[in-house]
Every structure is written in structure tokens, then in C-alpha cells.
Structure 1
Amino acid sequence: MSIDPSSIPNFGGQPDPEQNGPAASAVIPDQDLVKQLLEQMELKFVVDDEGDLAAPWEEFRAYFMFRGEEDQQIFAVRTFYDRPYTVDDKPQLHEVIDDWNRRTLWPKVYTHTHDDGSVRLIGEAQMLIGLGVNLEHFVSSTVSWVRASIEFDKWVVETLGLEKDVDADGGAKGDEGTNGDDA
């Protein structure tokens, strides 16, 4: 998915730090701010049963979560990749995701083994927001994390030589870069 930087929203203009001091440009992000950002990025999203925002794609879901107490609150983008692997695949998966984690800043990716024995990949990026964060930093970080989550999915398919469904035109399904109509 390609995000046009001009699509990053201007949330009513930021206060002039010289007029109001350095803390004036700091905000404490909330779910409404993330919803505005996702709408501006033209990403479909839902609110799940736990109250978290989720943006579904064909092969994964990205969740936008707020956790923790006031001054220690964390904002996380956690991506659950739906492609199942077996326990026997774990050594190869660990090699591949170790390579990704060494080369990139985010998302950090790890494996999770379900009770049924299937293994899934999970990516995560976090930011401490409890005392406030610069709005521009928050927006650009969130956009970058979404982009990186999408890039990881493409990268792991290439790296592991996984076959993707091919549509009638011969292109890989889901390469359009949108998060589909399944929201």
C-alpha cells in the first residue's frame, strides 16, 4: 500500500509552540484521533468487542490499541497475520523474522502458537503517550507502522516463497493496496 504523504490529515492546525510554550504541540492521542487518521488514509476499520479499532486486509488485521494507566499509557499497532504455519515451520520462521527484526525498526515480529498447534505471526509497534506526544510525530509514526505492516506481509511471502492466490489477470490477489471490503 502506498500512502501519499499529502493524505496525512491536518487536525485543525497545531498551536504555535512559540505562543504557548513547547508543550502546546503535545497531544494525548485517543481513539477518535486514530479514527480520523484511518479515515484520512481511506482505510476501512471496525471497533471490535474489546473496543479496539481494527483495520482488516485479506491476509491480516491491524489493531490500534490503547493500554495502561494515564501517565503510563501506551499506543500500540498490533498486526495479526492470518497465514497459518505448523510447529515444524517455527525454526525457519524464527530465522526469517530474526532477519526482519535486525533489518527494520518496526513492526517487531514474533510467533504465537495456538492451542490447536497452528503458528501465526504477530507484528507490533508501540509508543508511550501518557504524558503527551507531538501530533506530527504520532501521525507519521502511525502511518509508517501501517505501511511497514503491509510491507512485512509482502516481504514474508517473497522470502518464504509462498504462493499467493492469482486472479484472472495474473496479478497477485490483494496487491491493490487497500484493506478490502471486509471491514
Structure 2
Amino acid sequence: MSIDPSSIPSFGGQPDPEPTGPGQVVIPDQELVKQLLDQMELKYLVDEEGDLAAPWEEFRTYFMFRGEGDQAVFAVRTFYERAYSVDEKPQLHEVIDDWNRRTLWPKVYTHTHDDGSVRLIGEAQTLIGLGVSLEHFVSSTVSWVRASIEFDKWVGETLGLEKDAEGDSDADPGSDEE
């Protein structure tokens, strides 16, 4: 099976192509996702657990297959790198509750690490065990990736972190401060 490049929604703001009718039903696998990521021109790697991961500067997105038979699930899970303190968790909950109420995906939640740092994780998933249309799979996966990127921008703007990052760029580029 191969992916028709015209079926991949554009990241450049162009309108998505109109559906062309019922499509081929597939049971997606890692090779199909690799092909899609290649066509999207996204870099990826396979981690030590065998999951595909696409790294960005501020987050990494995993494409995971879990379960078997008609219970098989495909999940796109994004781990955001920005660390927060436990004291910031109530504010984070308010912000991500707002996101989760207003959007379909990714659903975002917090994870507190052993060192006390709090990070955000976004997730979208679908059952694939009985098969899905190729067009639906491609469109959903691209939409989930796009939404993960948008969430990172949105949370930075909502929490006022984008201004902080811009302010940091005023530091002397030759200094050793971090």
C-alpha cells in the first residue's frame, strides 16, 4: 500500500483536498507511518522500545501501536519538554482544562516526575484493529501532529512563555550563561 501525496493535508495553510469517495481500508502499521512522515518531510527515529518518534525542539511526538486483533490501537502521544514546578500545577490544570474543553485533540494532561518537575503530555488515539480507511488514517494522523504543534504555541502564549523566550534571546550570545 502507498499513500497518495495529494491526500496529505498541507501544513502551509492551503485548504485540504476534498475527499474523493470511499477509500481503501487498511490496518495501519509502523511502515505506513514512516511513509507518511517521509512524505511530510518530518525527521523521525525508532526508540529503544520500537516506537517511532518525531523530535521537535520543544517536544517529541511518538507514533505507537498497542494491543492486538480488533482491540489494536494507534496513538499519537506528544511529550512537551518545558518543565514546570509542582507549585505551578494548579495553574497548568486550569489552562489545559480550557484546552481540553475547547478542542478535540490532543487531550493534554500533566505528569509529575520523581524529581518534582511537571511536564505536559498530549494524546490522541483510535482503534485500528478492524481497519480504517487510508484517507481517514492519513488525515487524522496529520491533524493530530498539526494540533500538537498548535498546542505548544498556544500554551506558550497563554502562559506568557513566548515573551520570556524572546527576552532570553537578548542575552549576549558570547556569554556562557544558561
- How does the TM-score come out when normalised to structure 1? 0.79
In the aligned structure 1, how far is the partner of 2:35 from the partner of 2:165? 32
**CA positional deviation for 1:69:** 1.4
What SS class does the counterpart of residue 154 from structure 2 fall into? helix
Structure 2 gap segments, 5+ residues each: 1-9, 171-178
Equivalent residue, structure 2, for 1:174: none
| Structure 1 match to 2:118 | 119
The answer on 1:39 being equivalent to 2:47 is: no
**Secondary structure, in 3 states, of the residue corresponding to 1:164?**
helix
Tell me what 2:104 maps to.
105
Q: What corresponds to 2:138 in structure 1?
A: 139
TM-score (norm 2): 0.81
Structure of higher RCO (CA pairs closer than 8 Å, 6+ residues apart): 1
How many aligned residue pairs are there? 155
CA deviation vs aligned residue, 1:106-151 (integer Å, no higher than 9, x gap): 0000000001100000000001000000100000000000000000
The share of aligned pairs that are identical, in percent, is: 79
Question: CA-atom RMSD, angstroms?
Answer: 2.2
**Could you tell me how far apart the structure 1 residues matched to 2:35 and 2:168 are?**
33
State how far apart, in whole Å, the 1-side matches of 2:125 and 2:30 are. 15
Structure 1: runs of 5+ lacking an equivalent:
9-13, 18-23, 171-183
Shift of residue 164, structure 1, vs aligned partner? 2.0
Correspondence for 1:164: 165
- Residue in 1 that maps onto 2:63: 64
Q: Deviation of residue 70 (structure 1)?
A: 1.7
